[in-house]
Amino acid sequence: MITALPGSRAAAEGEKGKSLIAVLPFSINADKDLGFLREGIMDMLMTRLYWKDRVSVVEKQRVKDAVKDISGPFDLAKAGDIGRRLGADYVLFGSLTIFGESLSVDATMAPITKSDEPVTVFVQTKGMESVIPEINTFAQKVNSTIFGRSVVEPEPSGRVVQARSGQDRGGGINPNFTVYDSDPERTSFWKSRAINKEVMGIDIADVNGDKLNELILLEETSVSVYAFREGTIARLATYDAGDGNRFVWLDAYDINGNGRAEIFASKASGSDISSVVLEMEGGKLKAIVKDSSWFYRVINWPGQGRILVGQQRMVGNHTGEVNLADNFFVRGVFRLAWNGKDYREQGQAPLFDIKGVYVFNFVAGTLGKDLTPYIVTVDWYEKLKLLTMDGQQVHRSSDVYGGTLNLIKTAENIKTETLRRDSFFVPSRMLIMDVDKDGSNELIVNQNRSTTLGIAERFRAFSDGKVAALSWDGISFNPIWESRKLQGCLSSLQVMDLDNDGNDDLVVSLIQERGASFMGKARSAVVSYKLEQKKENVK
């Protein structure tokens, strides 16, 4: 996440003895709107160049106000004029040009009131993942050349766990997992054909009443159902939102009791929540609920089993208008039930109301052999928090988990100064279950390795990802086993019987290429690992 900059005008506007930098928005030359990237670059440079008691930066909104009526790219003269009007000692400006798969970064840090030589960079490279590292290198060059500042880069937060002797839980589950005292030579996984969409979510359920499970994928603005037959998947039906807005979450379960799982697809864009509930009917996906103002989620809740819950808008009417001022969601997660026409809350009181816990970022259940139920949540910084059922924090992890590319942002007409942040990434599904059937529940969670180091708030990229099973020993979370790394972003996971052989599979969705025009078509895949129970635990 972006490191917070000082919020007061005095702190940001160059106190006595400090150098003041005006960071101008980069010009982006591309055939697609990449405004989010412009914002990310600007935020990153402001964060990287700020140096307490030494270097300040002009407030972002003041810079935007100063350049809003100026057209065309900035050159040295134009940028210098803007910097002088802002009272800056230095002005930083640049451009990003994207053509096909190639891109170039051209940036300059120029003095206005100082006598330093300008610092420039021009680099040509390929792939979106290289943008942030190049900008980071430029910021380091500025810090070193002009301010004599040495910056030590943080280590990536996702660590690779090394095998330890004496640890063998998970060794009989799947030979693709990095396990303890296990033989990794065998292979047992399945991978789908390429899917030319960014698959943001998955679930597995019987959606057509044929007593066989189907695979349901969240494919950007659409939801698709696939049948798994003879080692391949075949599309049965697709529902498209029709408004160009992406879905953010997917669950499937038979809540209304008709023998066919409903598909709960949640969607939000700015101030609009327009979720849908779908059912298979006559070989097609039909919306039985449209434009719902609920964010839906199917969860396992201690003592109640699998239930439907939802979280609604803060204020507004039934058109789905929201005020996302408190962590983007109204506090309080409600249990929902089918009333014959719609899914409505059961009772006036929420199932729970814990600050910082919202409908998409938690899982509940018992861990290990302890019968005490807990809530595990992914916080804003993607650290795992273990909470009691009434919200008391027991533990917070040092490693990050749950990261995805699934972004929700607020509407442009909502003033961002009233919000804690104006966008956030929805974490991946987590599970609490006894995967290896040894009588102890594990926490199953994804862990993607970031190439942007959490610097840009609205832009991120991952080099690879894996699934980890964690145990709780009363003090901290500890790894039991991990899947092997998969190149790309591991966007979602589920443990269900995909191939209908009577045994559970660990199934993950993997985004291998983003759908930006300069990188070509999006490309995703589904990967499934067969989960083999230890024979001595099978009854």
Q: Where does residue 171 fall: left (phi above 0), alpha (psi -120 to 50 degrees), or beta otherwise?
A: alpha
Confidence bin at 421 (pLDDT 50/70/90) = low
Burial 189-217 (b: 16+ CB within 10 A, else e): bbebeebebbbbbbbbbbbbeeeebbbbb
194/201 Cα distance (integer angstroms): 16
pLDDT at residue number 28? 87
What's the longest Cα–Cα distance across the chain?
A: 79
Strands (E), 302-420: 305-311, 334-338, 343-345, 362-366, 373-378, 383-387, 393-400, 407-409
With residue 46 as reference, give the H or E element that holds it.
helix 35-49
Choices 2.30.30, 2.40.128, 2.120.10, 1.10.357: CATH for 188-528:
2.120.10
> What number of other Cβ atoms are within 10 A of residue 485's Cβ?
16
Least confident stretch, 54-63, 305-314, 376-385: 305-314
How far is the CA of 370 from the CAs of 283, 300, 374, 391, 442, in angstroms?
Answer: 45, 17, 10, 18, 11
Burial 422-453 (b: 16+ CB within 10 A, else e): bbbbbbbbbbbbebbbbebbbbbbbbbbbbbb
pLDDT at residue number 418? 39
Nearest residue to 272 (alpha-carbon basis) of 290, 287, 285, 288: 290
State the average pLDDT over residues 213-240: 95
Q: Up-side HSE of residue 351: CA atoms within 13 Å toward CB?
A: 24
pLDDT at residue number 230? 84
Nearest residue to 518 (alpha-carbon basis) of 14, 46, 127, 12: 127
User: Which single residue is written with the structure tokens 């894996």?
Assistant: 466
Nearest residue to 323 (alpha-carbon basis) of 420, 223, 397, 430: 420
512/489 Cα distance (integer angstroms): 7
pLDDT at residue number 535? 43
467/2 Cα distance (integer angstroms): 26
User: Which single residue is written with the structure tokens 């807990």?
Assistant: 374
Q: Up-side HSE of residue 385: CA atoms within 13 Å toward CB?
A: 18
**DSSP assigned state of 404:** -
State the average pLDDT over residues 76-91: 93
Residue that wins the pLDDT comparison between 132 and 313:
132
Nearest residue to 429 (alpha-carbon basis) of 275, 164, 248: 248
Percent of residues, the chain, with pLDDT higher than 90: 47
Confidence bin at 44 (pLDDT 50/70/90) = confident
pLDDT at residue number 123? 81
The highest-confidence range among 100-104, 399-403, 424-428, 443-447, by mean pLDDT, is: 443-447
The highest-confidence range among 178-187, 204-213, 235-244, 262-271, by mean pLDDT, is: 204-213
User: Which single residue is written with the structure tokens 């960014």?
Assistant: 198
332/528 Cα distance (integer angstroms): 35
Query: What's the 3-state SS for 181-209?
Result: CCCCCCCCEEECCCECCCEEEEEEECCCC
Confidence bin at 16 (pLDDT 50/70/90) = low
Residue 14 has pLDDT above 70, yes or no: no
- Alpha carbon 400 to its chain's center: 12
Token digits of residue 358: 């919202």
Residue 315 has pLDDT above 80, yes or no: no
Residue 57 has pLDDT above 60, yes or no: yes
363/379 Cα distance (integer angstroms): 12
The highest-confidence range among 96-105, 309-318, 470-479, by mean pLDDT, is: 470-479
Q: Which amino acid is at 127?
A: G
Contact 174, 506 (CB under 8 A): yes
Q: Up-side HSE of residue 93: CA atoms within 13 Å toward CB?
A: 22
Residue 5 has pLDDT above 50, yes or no: no
- Alpha carbon 436 to its chain's center: 28
Least confident stretch, 131-145, 164-178, 214-228, 257-271: 164-178
Domain 17-145 = CATH 3.40.50.10070: yes
State the average pLDDT over residues 62-89: 89
pLDDT at residue number 20? 94
- pTM summary value: 0.67
pLDDT at residue number 140? 86
Query: What is the chain's Cα-based Rg?
Result: 25
Confidence bin at 151 (pLDDT 50/70/90) = low
Nearest residue to 102 (alpha-carbon basis) of 132, 130, 134: 130
377/389 Cα distance (integer angstroms): 12
Residue 296 has pLDDT above 50, yes or no: yes
State the average pLDDT over residues 360-365: 95
What residues contact residue 120 under an 8 Å CB cut-off, 6+ apart? 106, 107, 108, 109
Confidence bin at 178 (pLDDT 50/70/90) = low
State the average pLDDT over residues 134-139: 83
Where in the chain are the domains? 17-145, 188-528
pLDDT at residue number 179? 58
Residue 448 has pLDDT above 50, yes or no: yes
* β-strand pairing of 199-205 with 334-338: unpaired
Segment 461-486, tens digit of pLDDT: 778 899 999 999 888 999 999 998 88
Residue that wins the pLDDT comparison between 5 and 442:
442
- Alpha carbon 440 to its chain's center: 28
